[in-house]
Structure 1
Amino acid sequence: MLVLGFPAGPLQANCYVLARGDGQPCVVVDPGQEASEPLRAQLREHGLTPAAVLLTHGHFDHVFSAGEVCRAYDVPAWIHPDDRFMLADPGAALGPAGRQLFGDVAMAEPADVREIADGERLELAGITFEVTHTPGHTGGSVLFGTATDEGGRLVLSGDTLFAGSIGRTDLPGGDHERMLHSLRTKVLPLADDTAVLPGHGPTTTIERERASNPFLQDLPAPVPPRD
C-alpha cells in the first residue's frame, strides 16, 4: 500500500493520501488549509487520481480544501453527521476566542457530502476503511482503520490521538469525559502494532502510546468482550 502524508497550513494539519500503488485511484484524508498545491504535486508524482475524500472531523484546518478537491475530481466527501455543519460554517467550531484569533473562515462545502456511522465499512479505491466514532475532540470525530497489503494495520486518528498527547477538548463541541471514554473503549483495544497516522505531528504506534502517552496510562483497561 502507498501511504503519503504532509503537513499543511498555519496549524500544520496532516493530509494523507492512500492508494494500492502508483498509478492507482486514491483516497485523500483531511485536505486542510493550503493543502491543494502540495496534494496536486503528490498526485502528479505518483500518477494518482482521487476517488474520495475522508474527513476525520470538521475543524477547518482539516477540511478547508475538501470542497476544492471534491470539485476538481468530482468525488464525494465523507464525514460524521455530528460534524457536517462545520463544512458550511467552519467558524461555528472556533468559538469567540477562535474567531478573534483566526478571523472569519470562509470555504466552499463539497457538493456531494456523505455521512458515515460508527462501525461502517467503506470500500474506496480498492481499500477497506472501518469507521470508529470517537467523540471528544469534536462530537463527530472518527478514526479510519485499514489493513495494509503487508499484513499490518494502520489507523488515521485525526485529532483524537497524537504522539504523546490527545486533541484538545475545550473548543465548542469538545467534551473531555467523552474523549476519555473514546480513548478507553475505542483506542486502547487496538492492537499494539497498529500504526497511528495522527492529524498533527509525527506517526506513532498504539504500543508506544500505551506505554508513554500520559492520557492513556491512567485509563482503566477496557473490559474484554464476552464469548
Structure 2
Amino acid sequence: MKALIIPVTPFAQNCSLIWCEETMKAAVIDPGGDLEHILGAAEEQKVEIEKILITHGHLDHAGGTQELREKLDVPVEGPHKADKFWIDQLPEQCARYGFPPSYAFTPDRWLNDGDTVTVGKVELDVVHCPGHTPGHVVFISKNDRVAIVGDVLFQGSIGRTDFPQGNHEDLINSIRNKLWPLGDDIAFVPGHGNMSTFGQERQSNPFVADMNFG
C-alpha cells in the first residue's frame, strides 16, 4: 500500500490518498474539503479512486464527502453509525466555522469494530475508537504496519473530548486497549500534524504513556 498525505481545509486536516500498488485502485480517507487538491494528487499518482473512507463526522474530515462522491460516483464507507448526528449537522457545522457549503450524506456502509475494507487488493482492519466522537473508526493495514487514526491520537497529544458526546475516559481506553496491542512498530497518520508510531507515543505522550498508568 502507498499513501500520500494531503492537508486540506483551514484546519490543516490530513486527508490521506491510499492505493494498492498492484491495481492502482485508491481510496480517499477524510476528504474534508479542497477537493481540487485531492483530485490533482490522484491524477499525478495515476491512480483511480474507487471509494471514500471516513474516520468520523467532523466538518474538516467529512465536509467534502458528498460532493466528491457525486463527482466520482463512488461509494462511501464509514464511520460508525454513532456519528450520524455529526454527519447530519455538516451544513450547520460548515456555516458556523466559515467553511464552504457542505452536504449531509448517508454512507453506503456504516462500519463496525472488526470489519474490513478493501482498496484494490489491500485490506484494512476497522477499529471502532470512540471518545473524540462516539462513532470514530481507525483504519489499520497490518501488512504495511500503518494506521490512519483521524483525531483519536496525535504526536504528543490526543483528540479533544469537549464536543457533544465526546468522552475522555472512552478515548483513553480506545487508545490503550485497542491501538497499543496492535504493535509498537505501527506508524500512524493523525488527523493533524506529523506522523509518529504507537511505540513512541507509549513512551512519551503525556496523555497515554505507559508510565502514567502503572
TM value normalised by structure 2: 0.90
Q: Which residue is 1:121 aligned to?
A: 116
SS of 1:183's equivalent? Answer: helix
| Count of residues in Structure 1 that have an aligned counterpart in Structure 2 | 212
Gaps of 5+ in 1: 222-227
Q: Which of 138, 146, 156 matches 1:154?
A: 146
Deviation at 1:106, TM superposition (A): 4.1
Deviation at 1:24, TM superposition (A): 1.2
Distance in 1 of aligned mates of 2:59 and 2:22: 29
1:187 equivalenced with 2:182 (yes/no): no
Structure 2 counterpart of 1:62, one-letter code: H
1:174 equivalenced with 2:173 (yes/no): no
1:25 equivalenced with 2:17 (yes/no): no
Q: Which residue is 1:3 aligned to?
A: 3
Residues 1:4 and 1:60: Cα distance change in structure 2 (over 3 Å):
same
State the Cα deviation string for residues 205-225 of structure 1 (Å, max 9, x = none). 11111111111125547xxxx
Structure 1 counterpart of 2:42, one-letter code: L
Q: Which residue is 2:68 aligned to?
A: 69
How large is the Cα RMSD of the aligned pairs? 2.2
Distance in 2 of aligned mates of 1:109 and 1:12: 21
**Does the 8 A contact of 1:138 with 1:173 survive in 2?**
yes
Q: Which residue is 1:86 aligned to?
A: 86
**Does the 8 A contact of 1:156 with 1:196 survive in 2?**
yes
Q: Which residue is 1:203 aligned to?
A: 195
**Does the 8 A contact of 1:90 with 1:105 survive in 2?**
no
Deviation at 1:155, TM superposition (A): 0.6
Distance in 2 of aligned mates of 1:210 and 1:26: 31
After TM superposition, the structure 1 stretch with the greater mean CA deviation from structure 2, 53-62 or 175-184, is 175-184
Q: Which residue is 2:131 aligned to?
A: 136
Structure 1 counterpart of 2:123, one-letter code: T
State the Cα deviation string for residues 24-60 of structure 1 (Å, max 9, x = none). 11011001032x0111111111111111111111001
